[in-house]
Each structure stands twice: as C-alpha cells, then as structure tokens.
Amino acid sequence: MSKRSDSEYGQNPTARRGIVVDRDPKTMRVKVQFEDEDELVTQWIDVLAKSSTGVSAFQMPGEKDEVWCAMDAKGESGCIIGSRYNAKDAPSGDANEQVVITFAGGHIRLDTGSGNLDIKIPGSVNIEVSGEFNVKAAKGHFS
C-alpha cells in the first residue's frame, strides 16, 4: 500500500460544497461539481469512511447528493467529508433519539429513547451464524 505524500492535499486545504455527478464503484471514488466556479468538476476524489480496517462501514454518496469536500489549495485533489441534509433531502426520524438508515422501499430505525428497533425491507432476510442463535422475548407473534 502506498502512503500519500504530506504535500498531496497542500498546505491550505479548503472546504467546498458541491454535487456528486459521477461514481466509480471499483475505486470507491467520485467526481463532484462545484457551482461556485464555472461549474468546475473535480477529478476522481476519495470518499472518507468511519474506518478502513477491521470493523468498518462505508457508503458511497448517491448521484446528485449534496456533499462537503476538503480540497487542496489548488482544487486539484481532495476528498468528500460527508453528505449534507438540505430542504429537499431532510433527515428521516427524530435525529435526537433515532439512528435511521433509509433506502428505496424500506428503513432500519433504532429508537435510542424507547429501545425499539423497526425494520422494513422490500426483499428477503438471510441470517447466517456460525454459533448459537437465540431469540428471547417477553411476548410476541409471527404472521
């Protein structure tokens, strides 16, 4: 694995807001268009993840997502810091007490206040365990 040079992102990085216009699933990089400079489109830039080793989570921003980028002083290289909610794409649920993942036709919603977990999916569920599988509930039903 190659280490990035200390000067790759320049001495004066700048935060920029833009729109994702292209995605490369093989390299997990994107191109972003900035509206503030003649609709400039970046070269392929990285998308930050919470972790890249061991336990990790990664999600590519969607095309047309509004994102914040950290760019070098020349605007030639950089990375996406994260996506931004806006008036058109507002967060779902009560952000103070819910962890929510939404997708076409469904959601996974954990309410940290009540401790409830709600899962709605349009497809199948597959669970694979190498050890024991236990379900314990005070009451319940299957339909």
What does the alpha-carbon distance between residue 112 and residue 94 come to, in Å, rounded to a whole number?
10
Q: Average pLDDT over the chain, rounded to whole?
A: 83
The pTM (predicted TM-score) of the whole model is 0.69
Domain covering 13-81, topology: OB fold (Dihydrolipoamide Acetyltransferase, E2P) (2.40.50)
> Domain locations in the chain?
13-81, 90-123
Give the pLDDT confidence score for residue 37 in this predicted structure: 67
Residues near 37 by beta carbon (within 8 Å), at least 6 away in sequence: 75
Q: Give the tokens for residue 61.
A: 């921003």
pLDDT digits (tens, 9 = 90+) for 30-80: 999 987 767 789 999 999 887 777 767 778 898 999 999 999 887 778 999
**How far, in Å, CA of 80 to CA of 31, rounded?**
10
Residue 132's Cβ-side half-sphere holds a number of Cα atoms within 13 Å equal to 3
